[in-house]
Structure 1
Amino acid sequence: MRAGFARTGLRYVHLYQSKNLDKNGLKLHSTQDLLQLLGFVKQSKSGLVHWLPLGLRTLNKIKTIIKRRMEDQGRAQEVSLSLLSPKALWESTDRWINSELFKLKDSKGSDFCLAPTCEEEITTLMGSYISSYKDLPLTVYQIGRKYRDEKRPRGGLLRGREFLMKDAYSFDQTPQDAVTTFENMNKTYDLIFKDLKVPFVSAWADSGAIGGDLSKEYHFVHETGEDIVLECNGCSNVSNVEKCLSYPHETNTYTGDVSVRYALNVARDTLLCLYYPKNRTLNWNLVLAAMEKDVDSSLADVSNETVLQLFHAGKNEDDLMFSSVVRVMDCRLSSKANFPDFPLTQYLKSNFSQLDDVSLVDAEEGEICGACEEAELKASNSIEVGHTFYLGQKYSKPFNVKFTTRDNKEQLCEMGCYGIGVSRLVAAIAQVTRDEMGLRWPKAVAPYQISVCGAKSDELLEEVTNALKAWSPEIWVNEDPKVNLGRKIATSHNLGIPICVIVGKKQWPYVNLEVRAPYMTETWLTKQAENGETWGWTCDTEQRDLIKKHRVHKNHLKDVIDVILTDM
């Protein structure tokens, strides 16, 4: 490839020299704009993008890493499901009413949606092949496009209407087997994210609309992230804010205004009054835990007035007097706090109970970790890039996916599902690694690992290029005659190519290298000390972090590049 799609290098230089970029250069542009400016993607409309050759190379490298780990460590088989999913399947799981589904009709008037996820389809499909315990365990996965009707798509690839996703689904005999598969898949995910060479954290999470009892998220920590993860500096437990339990350093000390949220138990015969500091956010996962799941969570988003109407429905004054009421008090509240009026004017104390000293609100940095109850929590913004779920029988039950046990009995399968936002990863990696010069890809996902820059029609450039191409397919050469050497080098750095090889007559037979890659360990220094004199390898160790400059004899160029790449 010479200069990218439709002369990507030229197009970039033109924009860089135009008024589209101010004197501060690339650092003021959003990552999505940067990916477009440099020719990785082109946004056709809000939430929709076209992938260009440079972007596809990075995307395909991520897919290759995922496929290798899913098949080797995850023991998964690849499938590819239709994007069109019939309405009946989604009605079976009560998910057709989801407002984010793209819905359409065929010429016969039948209803379909463009799949945003494939629990319904995969469960139905695998159910037609699973009949015996001998068919289990079974894990299948796919990497394909998904669709979600985001009302306000933003962040480009981070929140689009069309996106590329890796989704996997597991089927097991027992809950114990399914949890083991869930744990093993999380180990596989650890390996996938380690292969990407970008620091990550895995956090216990809320299962949300997918459902299930166990859930983990994978995040890149970054100040621009929309999510929040909290890590204990003692036990190292990591959770997202929806699943994090915390306690104040001193309980019962809050004396300000108090908010109340009304709820009902599952049977809807007990009124729950949830009291918490007005300056905090109620956490429904903690409410469910405090009430041992005896809460009608379908009412979580309705108003207090609606809950009270439901509680009063069909009851006269005597019924209300004998109704059961539970006051649930957040542990931060003092008895001297400013509580709102109680919603009932008459009640029997014998039917009135109170639950004290539970935590009901979102955790905050500096509070005590609820897991170890000793050390403090540290909060960080983050970008979610993966999610794993243990589903149990949430989907196998409505679709009646059963197998015959060793005892010749029928039993429902236990399931798990595991997702990675593949196109989202491209944007997330770009976001957390970019700097003021542009993109800064890790070696594993860079569109090219090495660029070669030199004067036009230079036989020395051709000699080095041919030697490197015979050694590696990861070579990018900008041979455009209208671009000078300085601009070619700058373009290589803007594109985020880790190693730029600079060939010139003045220093020949020595060649210069400019290295810019995140997360290098600098173990190459040992190799440089051992072989520097033999290889004619010197390095300016005083260079700033953005670029490290090396010089090496042409005969050992591949040796030095190999050492540096190994260190990335």
Structure 2
Amino acid sequence: MQRLSKAIPIFQPKGLTKNVLKASSAQDLLQKLGFVKKSQSGVFQWLPLGLRSLRKINQIIRQGMNEGVNGQEVALSVLSPKEIWETTKRWNNNELFKLKDAKGAEFCLTGTCEEDITSLMKNYVNSYKDLPLMVYQIGRKYRDEIRPRGGLLRGREFIMKDGYSFAATKSDALELFRDVNVVYERIFQQLQIPVVKALADSGEIGGDLSQEFHLLHNSGEDTVFKCDACDEVSTMEKCEAIPVQEGKHLGKVAVKYALTTDHSTLICFYFPEGRELNWNLALKSMDSDIDIHLKDVHNDKILEIYKGELDDEMFACIMRVMDSRISSRSDFPDFPLTKYLKNNFSQLDGVPLVNAEDNEICASCGEGHLHGSKSIEVGHTFYLGTKYSGPLNLNFTDKDNIKNNTLVQMGCYGIGVSRLIGAIAEIYKDDLGLNLPSSISPYLVSFCVPPGDAESGTYVQLMNDLANISKLKNEIMTQFPSNTGLGGRITLSHSIGIPLCVIVGPKSWPNVEIEIRSPLLLKRKEPNWVGEYAIFHDQYNWNVIEENEKHPEKHIVSAAHLSDVISILLKGL
């Protein structure tokens, strides 16, 4: 006899009501329903139901990485030495948790592992014959968020899949980058979630090519824009917009000061007051010749630094960059320098400098209008080039047998695993709780009987029949808090997102009810079971009550044919 997988009742919620479920946010529901428990700001303990969902996501990711790009799984330490972070000039990142051991050696808790994986691979990559190579891991990461928010969406400790590619040439590296993006699309399809791909900024990770995967939802803290003509999708940071009418902003103008990398020139970025400067566009306008480390420094401090390095203010070099929305008729602030030579003064006009807004024109095609949507980032891929292999000296013997001659070309690829659960909870929350895709639901089937009846011989036989369905191995939830009645058990099953709820009670016997709780099954135009229902309707004594405001879709079937109908319904999950 096959053993049935059982939840642990001590972690299951008690006293759930429809009002409680309806009034709770998705992140609160994950706690109330026993997926996670917050231990402190931005830190969560994972409970049995949450762990089951996590493991399902991890398995889909592993399968995708192993089969799609021949990935090799590792598990790196979360303790990373200061020295390698100093080598890549990332130790001063204020989001790193830092600590010292008893001997005074300094470490950080890894928020990302480019330094560690590059150092590790120096032991194993020696020749071009060792390449290309893909390595990945799934584990905990740490970020010292000052204000963690959104529950699992932005925590101080989180679970992440991070992968790293190593190639002999740039073309090989870019091919791997494209291959992983295809694998990521496949992973998200298997997770049954509607992601959009967006051109993205590489940020602190580095590199000059990256792509993000987003779930569109109003609760998201990111924004992606889509052009209604060319269909290009990009993040706020990467989106370049042309105003509908250039130079028409006649109101007040804001200015942000910057310095060139050698601090020889003061750069003045002018843009409409109330709009936000986009640093990617600012860097593009100056061909990246900006000291980006000063981007968050106040204007007064920038002027102080600049004037402090001038021998004579008269010989100041000034570059004014004008956003395309403003013109000479706009209301400019006072200029900060009173003495300068006209020959040292230059100006760029008509440059897009600010974050895009709805209905502005897409700069990529010059025709379509941009439309923004709030979103949650769940994946990010980067082509890194030699950003890390260079400073950490990861090189190899090339085809000409010249040793240590060529740097390895790298890429990195992340999926926020714990964030995925928080994001999916957001987009699939409804009045009954969490309407999860079957791919991450803790169980596929719940078996609900009145308290005290679970040991009945007839009911045990029904459970064993279900357990013998291969797809249901360890996927049937049978245990509930002992003081919870049949109605409470059904409510609990629906609230934690179990797709199929089998209800067995004396009033309906010898028939059994199956309530469907699955966005994938319910939103199809043609349910997967319709054809077989027409064939077996009479034989199985099978009737269907469609979903309405009071209850989910319900299938009523003879107990003798419960396993047959469950097998049919499972085909659509």
**TM-score, with structure 2 as normaliser:** 0.93
Aligned counterpart for 2:145 among listed residues 145, 150, 158? 150
Q: 1:449-460 to 2 correspondence within 5 Å?
A: 449-455=444-450, 456-457=452-453, 458-460=456-458
Deviation at 1:307, TM superposition (A): 2.2
Q: Tell me by how many angstroms 1:390 deviates.
A: 0.9
- 2:256 is the counterpart of 1:252: no
Structure 2 counterpart of 1:367, from 356, 360, 363? 360
1:555: Cα distance to partner?
Answer: 4.1
Aligned match for 2:82, one of 87, 103, 106? 87
Shift of 1:332: 0.8
The answer to whether the 8 A contact 1:400-1:412 is kept is yes
Aligned counterparts of 2:375 and 2:276: Cα–Cα separation in 1: 19
Please name the residue that 1:61 is paired with: 56
Q: State the SS of the aligned residue for 2:296.
A: coil
**69-78 or 259-268: bigger deviation:** 259-268
1:92-134 per-residue CA deviation (whole Å, 9 max, x = no partner) reads 1122222222222222221122211111111000011111111
Q: Which amino acid aligns with 1:142?
A: Q
Q: Distance in 2 between matches of 1:353 and 1:566?
A: 67
Residues 529 and 569 of structure 2 are in contact (CA less than 8 Å); yes or no, is this contact kept in structure 1?
no
SS of match in other structure, 1:42: strand
Q: Structure 1, unaligned stretches of length 5 or more?
A: 18-22
Q: Which whole-Å deviations, capped at 9, do the CAs of 1:250-285 have from their partners, x for residues lacking one?
A: 111111100011122233222221110001000000
Q: State the one-letter code of the partner of 2:358.
A: E
How far residue 83 of structure 1 moved from its aligned partner, in angstroms, is 1.6
Match of 2:554 among 534, 549, 557: 549
Segments of 5+ residues of structure 2 without an aligned counterpart are none
Deviations for 1:463-487, whole angstroms, at most 9, x for unmatched residues?
2211101212211113555322111
Following the alignment from structure 1 to structure 2, what is the Cα–Cα distance between the partners of residues 545 and 481?
A: 26
Report deviation, 1:452.
Answer: 1.1
- Matched-pair contact (CA < 8 Å) for 2:198–2:235: yes
Aligned with 2:565 (options 549, 555, 560): 560
Residue 398, structure 1, aligned to residue 397, structure 2? no
Identity %: 51
Q: Deviations over 1:385-422 (max 9, x none)?
A: 11111111111011111111112331011111111111
Q: Distance in 2 between matches of 1:186 and 1:2?
A: 35
Partner of 1:493: 494
Judge conservation of contact 2:72–2:136 (CA < 8 Å) in 1: yes
- Superposed CA deviations along residues 490-541 of structure 1, whole A, max 9, x for unmatched, are 1111111111011234444432111111243243254234543444332223
> Residue type matched to 2:82 in 1?
K
Query: Secondary structure, in 3 states, of the residue corresponding to 1:388?
Result: strand
Please give the residue correspondences for 1:279-294 in structure 2 after superposition, counting only pairs within 5 Å: 279-294=274-289
| Partners of 1:546 and 1:182 in 2: CA distance | 46
Match of 2:468, SS state, is helix
Aligned residues of 1:478 and 1:488 also touching (Cα < 8 A): no
Distance 1:325 1:551 in 2: 78
One-letter identity of the residue aligned with 2:339 = Q
The 1:314/1:145 distance shift into structure 2, 3 A limit, reads closer
SS at structure 2 position matched to 1:255: coil
Q: In the alignment, which residue of structure 2 is the partner of 1:4?
A: 7
Judged with a 3 Å threshold, the aligned counterparts in structure 2 of structure 1 residues 427 and 547 are, in CA distance, closer, same or farther, namely same
Over the aligned positions, Cα root-mean-square deviation in angstroms equals 2.0
Q: 1:101 to 1:364 in 2, by over 3 A?
A: same
SS where residue 399 of structure 1 aligns?
coil
Q: Which residue of 1 aligns with 2:93?
A: 98
Counterpart in the other structure of 2:545? 540
1:213-228 equivalences under 5 Å are 213-228=208-223
Asked if 1:503 is matched to 2:501, the reply is no
Q: Distance in 2 between matches of 1:95 and 1:545?
A: 55
- For residues 425 and 564 of structure 1, the distance between their equivalents in structure 2, rounded to whole angstroms, comes to 26
Check 1:481–1:85 CA distance in 2 against 1; reply closer, same or farther (3 A cut): closer
Query: 8 Å contact 1:77–1:140 — kept in the other structure?
Result: yes
Aligned counterpart, 1:126: 121
Letter of the structure 2 residue corresponding to residue 401 of structure 1: L
Does the Cα contact within 8 Å between 2:21 and 2:433 map onto a contact in 1?
yes
Q: Is the 8 A contact 2:11 2:47 kept in 1?
A: no
